[in-house]
Chain A
């Protein structure tokens, strides 16, 4: 039986790993084993040396001046060097504690944040972390130091969910902390007032950040795949509603789709990528989405 490294990206598998660093590394390595083409190509812009052209090399990197003098084809080689700041904004509000199956949104988001940090640090990008709920709770400024990952992982590990969410307050505070231009990755369920949320994102966009929204869903929240009589408990407000799940499903899904549609429109208007992730889906898909968007940004 052959080993499929992609199975390492299964969130349930990772949730059983206590060590978040190991978890993050496993995600990234497993993910990279599945790629046919290096995601690192062309990330740096610092020239290193020439080498002889080989079939398959990008013609854009051919040094045509040298060709005119030597009549031989050489391609330019660049040092791997970062100029990118990655800001990870992880929502730690109470709603992120929703866990219908093995992994909560909080855990899913934490694993994803760790993976992204590991991935970025391997590329020598500076990575920072901001934990926010009703306000910014903790933050680590972006740095490309090797031990930056361990600091990020420690902070994530020690964080407990907060009851309330307030995008109106937390996002401006986070924007203040994202001083240099970079990529801002928001890991949240976005369960807040849409206008407040968009104002916060607009602030980030105003600071010329590339914003990627990893919109985290629990399966129950998104599809309500329940039959029978249920007592629904709001993790943030403590409100309880009792109803027949299958009786309200159509209306519920319509409301969710309506909100998703509004959110999508708002994000598109602000050139914000929104990636929906459900906690029972593999994390590598999220990483791929991130990298594709990062590549597009250059």
Chain B
């Protein structure tokens, strides 16, 4: 509790008045002689204890009257009201999106300023405050994972020093801004907080582009939000917001173009802005060749301009580099955008045909291979991602190191060494796709089963009787079937089969699709880094006429795309740091982004990942605090929009009314004390 008119506390000296009056009256007692005091003594003895208590009570009440009066005039107010014994939960959200790299007027980065403010908050907080602090951009990054207290069996609150040690500004900020993710975490954390006052501090630059990304449930009613605006007005920013190759994966010596978009966020026109593309090949075959292209652009304020860079034919290998603008602005981080292009052959698909025939039409892989090749036999469509090659069971298994996916079609038996090589191939990350048929029996698949390449126990063949066998349901969230989640894009129920292979799924196998009647149609099993997918029917016309369906090609590509990694993004994948999960295709389940990414070109397991910051971060337009609060339904404290550490509101010269003033309570208390004094005084014998 603090006081606005602290000088009035001097009036507490008036507490001496009742005592003096008491002492003065004691000395002025008049003398009276009585024949006996026997009656008086009885009365006094009878009331002695009560009278003594009442006298002290009376003295206390009179002192309290004077004290309360002094406090009333001193105008006390609360820094923060909280129930005794209850802990205040303070949740702090610190924006670490790319725009928090902007420099403050004092030269410090905004993120450093934010961390400094939180340091002050933590340092000045009372002992009964517990802090939950997290950085956020497009994802949430709590500085402490919940640590269980072994003795109390509940999460342990980190100590203040522990927090201050851990609370360090990140070296670089490059994430997008997603307030929804941050507020969702804050809401959950506050909801789980122990009973007591709950406060939310948000330290952000109120970037406009971060508002519209996600819907958030409102915070609990009693949460007071303090908004610390760390944004800068009139930011001069030029940014490369896009560097998109027409094809990031192309054939060797193939030519492509790169589309570059530059945004002028400054208030002035950018004339003759140099835009530079630099690519370098890391392949030994190209001898470390570099490509540098330079263009100039004129961009009006607040507009985007695009430019196409036509690349020369690229030799086999990975080409990686940057597109940058040569200028100086307030936010240099978005002046560069990373690019990567891969010049290599398509995915190599090895088809092992179990029913080889002199007539290619009669072989079991004829239609499947044609679907992949997209060209007459012996030719390959230039844009096809797959390059199939078919062998027969008697043929020697080629070197699988250069193969991406192996497809077994109605294969009766397989040499044990081949099975072992195949198993090693899958464990190393390769994909295996199996189509069944008449040749696939429990006996014929024993070797595969021994190598762990089956998805369950083969139990024979199920033939259709009066009605054809149709697909009934499938996992529409799985990458294979996600494109078919909308029937308008292709209704898999229309596919019919005359027979299928009955398989009892293994415990670790996942049934992705089922026929009517419940028999598994598509099963998957993870083996090492790779996976095995079984389709329990043929991929030719033997058991079905589905090759004539317009769904054949998409389904075949989905099956192979999943096994090769094409569905997940191909060999060169682009990532933009702006959302926690990225939808691969409309309707598809979002894949979870690996954490700890930073802009650049990174070699991952089986693909190259190009990471860039979100182009939205280049839009430095700011929302107002009201817009922010209304967007997320926050109850902003009156003193909340601050550039400084939250300080208690003070009344200048003591003339303004402070919200947390306690004088009405003290006035009520004074009235009650006076009433009590009157009552006690009337009932107290002197």
Stretch at the interface among A36-44, A68-76, A81-89, A229-237: A229-237
Stretch at the interface among A176-184, A247-255, A281-289: A247-255
Q: How far is the CB of A224 from chain B (nearest CB, A)?
A: 8
Quick one: which of A94, A226, A244 has the most chain B CB within 10 A? Answer: A244
Interface pair B30/A229, CB less than 8 Å apart: yes
Q: How far is the CB of A125 from chain B (nearest CB, A)?
A: 30
With A251-B46, A251-B47, A255-B43 as known contacts, state yes or no: A244 contacts B35, CB within 8 Å: no
Which partner residue on chain A sits nearest B684 by CB separation? A247
Q: How far is the CB of A184 from chain B (nearest CB, A)?
A: 22
Expressed in whole angstroms, the Cα–Cα distance for A152 and B610 within the complex equals: 138
B489 within 8 A of A: no
Which partner residue on chain B sits nearest A93 by CB separation? B35
Which partner residue on chain A sits nearest B43 by CB separation? A251
Interface pair B44/A248, CB less than 8 Å apart: yes
CB neighbours of A228 from chain B (8 A): 30
Main secondary structure, interface of B, reads: mixed
Q: Which one of A233, A237, A244, A252 lies within 8 Å of B39 (CB-CB)? A: A252
Interface pair B37/A241, CB less than 8 Å apart: yes
Interface pair A231/B684, CB less than 8 Å apart: no
Interface pair B35/A232, CB less than 8 Å apart: no
B396 within 8 A of A: no
Interface pair B35/A236, CB less than 8 Å apart: yes
User: A-facing mask of B21-65, CB < 8 A → 1, else 0?
Assistant: 000011011111111111111111011000000000000000000
Expressed in whole angstroms, the Cα–Cα distance for A236 and B25 within the complex equals: 27
- Chain A interface extent, by class: 35 or more
Interface pair A232/B47, CB less than 8 Å apart: no
Which partner residue on chain A sits nearest B30 by CB separation? A230
Expressed in whole angstroms, the Cα–Cα distance for A100 and B29 within the complex equals: 16
CB neighbours of A99 from chain B (8 A): 33
Interface pair B31/A218, CB less than 8 Å apart: no
B686 within 8 A of A: yes
A150 within 8 A of B: no
B685 within 8 A of A: yes
Which partner residue on chain B sits nearest A234 by CB separation? B37
Expressed in whole angstroms, the Cα–Cα distance for A295 and B595 within the complex equals: 125
A243 within 8 A of B: yes
Expressed in whole angstroms, the Cα–Cα distance for A195 and B42 within the complex equals: 18
Interface pair B44/A231, CB less than 8 Å apart: no
CB neighbours of A13 from chain B (8 A): none
Expressed in whole angstroms, the Cα–Cα distance for A228 and B30 within the complex equals: 9
Expressed in whole angstroms, the Cα–Cα distance for A12 and B47 within the complex equals: 38
Quick one: which of A105, A232, A241 has the most chain B CB within 10 A? Answer: A232
Q: Which one of B35, B38, B685 lies within 8 Å of A248 (CB-CB)? A: B685
User: A-facing mask of B670-686, CB < 8 A → 1, else 0?
Assistant: 00000000000000111
A27 within 8 A of B: no
16 additional A-B pairs beyond A221-B36, A259-B39, beta carbons within 8 Å, are A189-B35, A220-B32, A221-B34, A230-B31, A232-B33, A233-B33, A235-B35, A239-B37, A241-B37, A241-B40, A243-B44, A246-B686, A248-B40, A248-B43, A251-B685, A256-B39
- Interface CB pairs A-B, < 8 A, 12: A95-B36, A99-B33, A220-B32, A220-B34, A226-B32, A229-B25, A229-B26, A231-B30, A231-B31, A232-B33, A236-B36, A251-B685
Please list the residues of chain A having a beta carbon within 8 angstroms of any beta carbon in chain B: 94-100, 105, 189, 191, 218, 220-221, 226, 228-237, 239, 241-248, 251-252, 254-256, 259
